[in-house]
Homo-oligomer: A and B are copies of this chain.
Amino acid sequence: MDMDAAEQDFSRALVDEGWWLASGIAGLYGWTHAFESLVQSVDRLANAFAAQDGAQPVHFPPVLNREVLVRSGYMQSFPDLCGSVHSFRGSDAEHQALMAAMEAGEDWGPHLAQTAVALTPAVCYPLYPTLAGTLGRDEVVFSLSSYVFRHEPSQDPARLQAFRMRENVCLGSADAVRSWRQAWMDRAQGLLAALGLSVSLAVANDPFFGRGGRMLRANQRQDEGKFEIVCPICSTAHPTAIASFNYHQDKFGVAFGIRQRNGEVAHSACIGFGLERCALAILRTHGLDRARWPAIVRRQLEA
């Protein structure tokens, strides 16, 4: 069976067997209580480690100040994945034109205007602007989770347009954040292996946009800027990233004016679990009938 057929079969099974609800849009689903409970269990497990780090919990809505996309370089690297929010600002007459375009089945996007907000592309983005200034300690760690948006409609059930990540973020010196990231790579592999998942570590290969993107991709691989834990979901030949470990160097420190206590620009790293992807890896590995999962996996998830 080729990959596309495997993806469609798994998506259909998730809907038919009571895990997902179809929306009519590729990569956009609702979740039944069974799936949502599994996602919450994964989040609880992933977040249990955060307490060991003394991570400070913080929470953001799924939209952010549009300027963060510009200043962080996101619109340079991933413009095709962004979600800019547009609304209607016109008069009564312009509203009639909007409604007429809609009824005629025409493109009604041009009747709207860009607002000051955009969908959050990665959980940690809204955090950095709140840290402008000097860090309160040599090393600070945050834990946060929210919905993120990536405009990449796909039949692959593991490539959603709207999904959640649990992230931990560390800021401080280059050495401190690098060794923090290394510790997380070790414990995350242990955590996911304990769920019976067949995981391995790989250097990431992000889809930077366009001709300039090829160079950014080569740099990312050469610098080992981002690692991923991958696990087979729809294909063993092309396993899916279910967790990532990203060392940003001083990119966000420079972009948002964040300094270490010694006055140097802060370095940062973030680690993230794709919550729906982890849940899918469990369903793909152990099957869609929860009663038949290994007892040890069920116990882990109920802990």
Contact = CB atoms under 8 A, between A and B. Distances in A.
B87 A60 contact: no
A185 interface: no
Chain A facing B: main interface SS: mixed
Total copies of this chain within the assembly:
2
A61 interface: yes
Interface string A65-86: 1010010000110011111111
A202 B83 CA distance: 37
Interface of A: 21-25, 28-33, 35-36, 56-65, 67, 70, 75-76, 79-89, 92, 95, 98-99, 102, 107-110, 112-117, 119, 126-127, 129-130, 147, 149, 151, 153, 161-163, 209-212
26 contacts: A24-B129, A25-B65, A25-B116, A28-B61, A28-B65, A28-B117, A29-B61, A30-B127, A33-B58, A61-B162, A63-B119, A63-B149, A70-B102, A75-B88, A75-B102, A80-B87, A82-B87, A83-B85, A83-B87, A83-B115, A84-B85, A86-B112, A109-B113, A110-B110, A117-B162, A119-B119
